[in-house]
Chains A and B, each alone.
Chain A
Amino acid sequence: MVKKRRLRLIAEMARKIRAYRELKSRPRESQKYALDYESMKRPLTGKMLPVLAWQDVRRESRLFSLLAGMRLFGVGRMFTRKSWLEDHTEPSYWEVTKVKVDYTSENMDHGRAWGILTLKGKQEKDVKEMDKVMYHDWRVVPKHMEEQLKDFEPLPEPPVRYVPYPPLVRAMMLAEHKKRTGSVLAEEPVLPLKRDVLLNKDYFRKQEQETQRTEGTPV
């Protein structure tokens, strides 16, 4: 028999207050992403930026450093990243739709932004939150260049290629099908070379459930 737990109301209250205070004292964006340009360290955590990023940090600017000097914080303008310009030949850009600035920052330099991404010429449909906003990597697309970026037509994706299964696996599949249904499989089983599966937690959980269903428990 477990002894009944004592009702420690004050401790509960203290726990709630401590959780609330922790929620309230979360560091703001401007404090989290502030940077000392001489020593390349973040004042909040004391950590240093990776060496390969130092040249970019000195030369380029953050997204909000560009947005702060624009009307309505650049809503409706397009922005590219220098790493995209170097990596992809097709144009990739974000079109800003919503901006939430951290007003405690000195030069309105930090915040969060949402927009529509066009990666390698393919435009997505929904508004997503922009990631890597605090990276020193962003460039504004001047209005006279916008047409040039938008005009791009991406090449259609090549069709998915199919490949025959290895012979033993193929024999196993045909035998299993014959056992299950009694007839011979009419068409050749093929393996698509591109899997459309997003490997995340839900997928693996579903796979486990399916194996449990077909095989039952081990004992």
Chain B
Amino acid sequence: MAASIWKRCVTAAVKVKCLSPSLSARRWILSAAYTDTKAWEAREKDPQNLAVLATTMDRTYDRNLPVSSLTVSRFVDNISSREEVDQAEYYLYKFRHSPNCWYLRDWTIHSWIRQCLKYGAREKALHTVKNKVQYGIFPDDFTFNLLIDSYIMDGDFQSACSVVEEVMLQEAFDLPSTQILSLYALGSYRAMRPQLTVSEERALGASLLICGMKQDNTVGLSAQLLGNALLGKVEMLEGIHAVFKGMPLFWGHGYLGRALDVMERVATASGDVKLSKDTLDYVNDLLQELSSTSDSDSSGAESAGEEEKKEVTIDEDDQAEQAKLPQYVSRFKELSSQLESEGKVDSASFQASVTALAQQNLAAAEKPDLEQYLSRVQAWEAENRQLIAREKEMRVKAEQEKQERLAAKAAAQQA
């Protein structure tokens, strides 16, 4: 079985090579080999009756005993229709709120996402990933890639961006394929120019920043600049606590200052790194908008009550930040002129540069991912078999003990 998977992998790798030139014609990013379900379907099946499993689980929960992760994984593996997806969601929720919640297996999570995608329950998958606290769904990198790709395929960039936000909250931007996919999703979403609330801007900025930190090229640095600028805007409007609460971000003040540091780093760097023009324009507009709102706040005639409330909620450090805004504006003007003079401004848009990066690097990034995934599937299968063997042993032992007890009771009754 391993040999057949390897053969399929080799043919898939060949397929990847001949598909990459036509990447611009297609709307999706990952190659067909990556999103192929054949390797996953080729695992050994463990057919179980879902109703039986469900009743067992209900009885175990009623008796306040812990349910094993093997039962839950069997349930999720044997889903065969859309209604059963809903039932599985309920059981995942119950498992999360039981003493064994730590032991939810990786392959269960992976198979849950795969089943949701197969039976068209993508929103359900997104809902469980978003409420990961309640469902305990923490997908690994490969699974995240699959989910983002399925959304990009349909052009639903808003949901793709919410998945990227989840990846950011997990800080799971380790694989280059994940980074490229997320930057593509974020870039396409921004190109749509949506109206964003402050919290959405914060999420977008944080994802751009953390993803951009992993890449050291034009795309990465532009993403860092954009991310820092968006977070700086939220910091100016709402204060630093609104920025880092609930997100893996640094708690220090001065995000706009850090954005300008990125620009300075690019300006003084000796390599071929550039910043894309539309990000610089966007940061410029942002700074103008912020300074105009702060001017109107200070000079406008407001009612006394509103002013008092605003002063109470803003911290002293945040006020110090707001006072630095004109300095930031002037420094930005200097740095952007310096960048233009050094020719480090890339006229291609962020979206275009991300697409170019994807075309170059994605095929190379996918290969080690696929190999690692296949080896991981093998490891999961081995662990699954070990768990099944252990369960059988325990059942045999329990039977034996029960027999002994019955025999002892019968002997005691007779005597």
Let me know if A142 and B249 touch, CB within 8 A.
yes
Let me know if B133 and A68 touch, CB within 8 A.
yes
Let me know if A143 and B171 touch, CB within 8 A.
yes
The answer to whether the Cβ of A186 comes within 8 Å of any Cβ in the partner chain is no
Nearest-Cβ distance from residue B312 to partner chain A, whole angstroms: 11
Let me know if B248 and A142 touch, CB within 8 A.
yes
Let me know if A61 and B96 touch, CB within 8 A.
no
Let me know if A59 and B245 touch, CB within 8 A.
yes
How many residues on the A side are at the interface (Cβ–Cβ under 8 A)? 22
Instruction: List the A side residues contacting B248 at CB < 8 Å.
Output: 140, 142-143
Let me know if B250 and A101 touch, CB within 8 A.
no
The answer to whether the Cβ of B120 comes within 8 Å of any Cβ in the partner chain is no
Let me know if A70 and B170 touch, CB within 8 A.
yes
CA distance A150 to B246 in the complex (A): 22
Q: Fill in one digit per residue for B122-140: 1 if any A CB lies within 8 Å of its CB, else 0.
A: 0000000000111000100
Instruction: List the A side residues contacting B101 at CB < 8 Å.
Output: 101, 103, 108
Contact of A59 among B99, B171, B241 (CB under 8 A): B241
Known contacts being A59-B241, A108-B133, is A144 close to B96, with CB within 8 Å?
no
Instruction: List the B side residues contacting A71 at CB < 8 Å.
Output: 138, 170, 172
CA distance A71 to B250 in the complex (A): 20
The answer to whether the Cβ of A73 comes within 8 Å of any Cβ in the partner chain is yes
Let me know if B133 and A69 touch, CB within 8 A.
yes
Known contacts being A103-B99, A107-B133, A107-B134, is A69 close to B245, with CB within 8 Å?
no
Instruction: List the A side residues contacting B138 at CB < 8 Å.
Output: 70-72
Which residue in chain A gives the minimum CB-CB distance to B97?
A103
CB-CB contacts below 8 Å: A98-136 with B: 99, 101, 103-104, 107-108
Let me know if A142 and B246 touch, CB within 8 A.
no
CB-CB contacts below 8 Å: B58-82 with A: none
Instruction: List the B side residues contacting A145 at CB < 8 Å.
Output: 250
CA distance A69 to B210 in the complex (A): 17
The answer to whether the Cβ of A85 comes within 8 Å of any Cβ in the partner chain is yes
CA distance A116 to B169 in the complex (A): 24
Let me know if A69 and B251 touch, CB within 8 A.
no
CB-CB contacts below 8 Å: B241-261 with A: 241, 244-246, 248-251
Which residue in chain B gives the minimum CB-CB distance to A67?
B133
The answer to whether the Cβ of A139 comes within 8 Å of any Cβ in the partner chain is yes
Binding site for B on A (CB under 8 A): 59-61, 68-73, 85, 99, 101, 103-104, 107-108, 139-140, 142-145
Sample 5 A-B pairs with CB under 8 A, ordered by A number.
Answer: A72-B138, A108-B97, A139-B244, A142-B248, A143-B248
